[in-house]
């Protein structure tokens, strides 16, 4: 965890996204101890970095009803933890059941889950954001993306109609490109008014699938995206490869400089 703070400070950032759960290296435990909580808050203080953006690992489209209820309880338990650690925005997933495998029963459980979580968020004073994210299957070291309800245009329209109005979206055009390479509209016409969180990354084609990369490393042209975005909040550079994190973030910043867009590090 401290390495995240160190890299952010070295690159001049004062804002950092953090994660809770999922069992991934560099994330906080979903059974956070008091010692771990204090250590995290101390890192914020020591490095002068705020953590308003938090990711929780969830899937609200699980086919099994009992597993779904456990998942909802899990997220609701962690929302106050995210708030205590400084989060103002919590990034969730709609779920990873492929779009063409959704049933009406799963849809209704999905809407109920977000209604419950949004009610909790209202009490906590935080915002929820659904990431535009497909279902990933790793084959021979590359990711094969399939549509989910947060990437398929018709399903996104149903989400917008059925979710509480306060639930926003984490706009990730890289993910949308990987699931629908020929559609460079990135659902902006539908999502534009609901974006409250944003990731900047790209995916490059490799062996019939995709590998995550920095913006500027492949062919996603962010200039028209920024021109149509209409979002004035923080855009988070999400660089997924672990072998050259500082270099990947620097390439992302250099790409923004080449685009000639006006930005400031926060």
pLDDT digits (tens, 9 = 90+) for 158-175: 999 999 999 999 999 999
Identify the helix (H) or strand (E) that includes residue 82: helix 65-84
Does residue 33 belong to any structural domain of this protein? yes
Does residue 27 belong to any structural domain of this protein? yes
Looking at residue 134, which CATH number applies to its domain? 3.20.20.150
State how far the Cα of 116 lies from the Cα of 106, in Å rounded to an integer: 15
Give the pLDDT of residue 25.
Answer: 83
Residue 62: pLDDT band (50, 70, 90) is: very high
DSSP conformational letter for 28: B
**Domain limits for position 133:** 2-259
Report field, pTM of the whole predicted structure over 0.85: yes
**pLDDT of 257 strictly over 90:** yes
Give the pLDDT of residue 202.
Answer: 98
State how far the Cα of 52 lies from the Cα of 143, in Å rounded to an integer: 29
The residue ranges of DSSP E strands in 116-167, in sequence order, are: 127-131, 135-139, 142-146
**Structure-token pair, residue 170:** 């984490």
Residue 72: pLDDT band (50, 70, 90) is: very high
Does residue 264 belong to any structural domain of this protein? no
Does residue 71 belong to any structural domain of this protein? yes
DSSP SS3 for 142: strand
- For 68-90, b where at least 16 C-beta lie within 10 A, e where not — what string? beebbeebeebbebbbebbbbbb
- Tens-digit pLDDT profile for residues 225-251: 999 999 999 999 999 999 999 999 999
Domain count, the chain: 1
Does residue 266 belong to any structural domain of this protein? no
> What is the pLDDT of the chain when averaged over all its residues?
97
Give the pLDDT of residue 108.
Answer: 98
Give the pLDDT of residue 165.
Answer: 98
Residue 203 contacts residue 213 (beta carbons within 8 Å): yes
Which segment of 71-75, 159-163, 174-178, 258-262 scores lowest on mean pLDDT?
258-262
Q: In which residue are the tokens 């920024």 written?
A: 226
State how far the Cα of 73 lies from the Cα of 76, in Å rounded to an integer: 5
Mean pLDDT value of segment 40-64: 98
**pLDDT of 63 strictly over 90:** yes
Give the pLDDT of residue 160.
Answer: 98
Residue 23: pLDDT band (50, 70, 90) is: confident
Mean pLDDT value of segment 20-37: 93
Three-state secondary structure of 173-223: HHHHHHHCCCCCCCCHHHHHHHEEEEEECEEEEECCEEEEECCCCCCCCHH
Does residue 75 belong to any structural domain of this protein? yes
Give the pLDDT of residue 126.
Answer: 98
Q: What percentage of residues in the chain have a pLDDT greater than 70? A: 100
Give the pLDDT of residue 24.
Answer: 84
């Amino acid at each position: 965890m401290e390495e995240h703070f160190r890299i952010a400070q070295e690159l001049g950032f004062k804002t950092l996204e953090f994660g809770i759960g999922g069992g991934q290296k560099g994330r906080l435990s979903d059974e956070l101890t008091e010692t771990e909580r204090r250590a995290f808050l101390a890192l914020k203080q020591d490095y002068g970095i705020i953590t308003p953006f938090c990711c929780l690992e969830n899937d609200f489209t699980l086919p099994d009803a009992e597993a779904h209820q456990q998942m909802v309880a899990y997220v609701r338990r962690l929302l106050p933890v995210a708030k205590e650690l400084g989060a103002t925005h919590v990034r969730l997933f709609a779920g990873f059941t492929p779009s063409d495998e959704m049933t009406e029963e799963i849809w209704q459980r999905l809407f109920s889950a977000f209604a419950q979580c949004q009610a909790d968020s209202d009490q906590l004073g935080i915002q929820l954001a659904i990431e535009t994210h497909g279902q990933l299957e790793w084959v021979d070291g590359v990711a094969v993306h399939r549509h989910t309800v947060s990437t398929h245009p018709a399903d996104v329209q149903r989400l917008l109609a059925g979710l509480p109005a306060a639930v926003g979206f984490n706009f990730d055009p890289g993910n949308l490109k990987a699931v629908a390479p020929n559609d460079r509209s990135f659902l902006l016409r539908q999502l534009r008014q609901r974006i409250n969180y944003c990731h900047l990354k790209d995916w490059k084609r490799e062996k019939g699938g995709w590998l995550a990369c920095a913006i500027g490393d492949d062919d996603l042209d962010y200039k028209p995206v920024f021109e149509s975005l209409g979002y004035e909040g923080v855009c988070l550079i999400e660089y997924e490869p672990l072998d050259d994190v500082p270099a990947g973030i620097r390439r992302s910043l250099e790409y923004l400089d080449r685009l000639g867009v006006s930005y400031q590090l926060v």
